[in-house]
């Protein structure tokens, strides 16, 4: 009898030690980040219509975020949101605005947590500041760890399309890890 109770107690204690998944069964695991990245890379070359910030897929991604379309808007955040949605994670619609999602990552909320640039891994988010007056104006998904002062990314709304980029790490204003659903 004591052996069964001991075993039951150990099983119960072990269940508390195992990291749980977030709502919907998705987690911020490396496999989720890898799946999001693989989907994002598969979209390379997808273009908006002209220079409109609109297109059938882009509009669908924004509607799936809970946003009304039109208006057409910068869509790097919609692209990142859709990549993680495809991997089973529902992030906040605030991701449409890198300035707002930057604040969420710094505050460790809405499924984002800031990390040091030195800890970037495949599937982590990278924030850039390309215009004044905001903390961040663009975001991307890391395709690998930084190497030689450079980071390979996949980005939406770069020259009006989804593109694979290689940027210097000195341009990163924040790195973040997706930790689960918002």
80 confidence band (pLDDT: 50, 70, 90) = very high
Strands 150-158, 161-168: pairing kind:
antiparallel
Rounded Cα gap, residues 93 and 143, in angstroms: 23
Q: What pLDDT, in 10s, does the model give residues 147-164? A: 999 999 999 999 999 999
Q: Are the C-beta atoms of 90 and 66 separated by less than 8 Å?
A: no
Cα-Cα-Cα-Cα torsion 74, 76, 82, 84, nearest 10 degrees, comes to: -150
User: For the chain, how big is the Rg over CA atoms in Å?
Assistant: 18
**Domains of the chain: residue spans and CATH:** 26-178 (3.90.1720.10)
Q: What pLDDT, in 10s, does the model give residues 60-71? A: 999 999 999 989
- pTM of this structure: 0.84
Name the residue with higher pLDDT: 22 or 178: 178
At 2 the pLDDT is 43
At 20 the pLDDT is 32
Query: Could you tell me the two tokens for 9?
Result: 């107690």
Q: What pLDDT, in 10s, does the model give residues 113-151? A: 999 999 999 999 999 999 999 999 999 999 999 999 999
181 confidence band (pLDDT: 50, 70, 90) = confident
Contacts of 77 (CB under 8 A, 6+ apart): 95, 96, 97, 98, 101, 139
1 has a pLDDT exceeding 90: no
């Amino acid at each position: 009898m004591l052996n069964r109770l001991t075993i039951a107690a150990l099983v119960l204690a072990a269940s508390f030690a195992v990291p749980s998944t977030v709502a919907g069964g998705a987690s911020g695991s490396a496999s989720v980040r890898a799946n999001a990245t693989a989907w994002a890379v598969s979209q390379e070359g997808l273009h908006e219509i002209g220079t409109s910030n609109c297109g059938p897929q882009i509009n669908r991604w924004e509607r799936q975020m809970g946003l009304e379309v039109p208006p057409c808007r910068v869509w790097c955040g919609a692209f990142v949101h859709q990549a993680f949605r495809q991997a089973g994670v529902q992030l906040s619609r605030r991701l449409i605005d890198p300035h707002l999602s930057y604040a969420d990552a710094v505050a460790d909320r809405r499924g984002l947590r800031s990390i040091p640039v030195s800890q970037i891994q495949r599937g982590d988010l990278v924030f850039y500041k390309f215009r004044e007056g905001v903390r961040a104006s663009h975001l991307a998904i890391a395709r690998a760890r930084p190497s030689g002062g450079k980071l390979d990314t996949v980005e939406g709304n770069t020259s009006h399309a989804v593109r694979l980029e290689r940027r210097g790490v000195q341009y990163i204003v924040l790195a973040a890890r997706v930790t689960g659903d918002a």
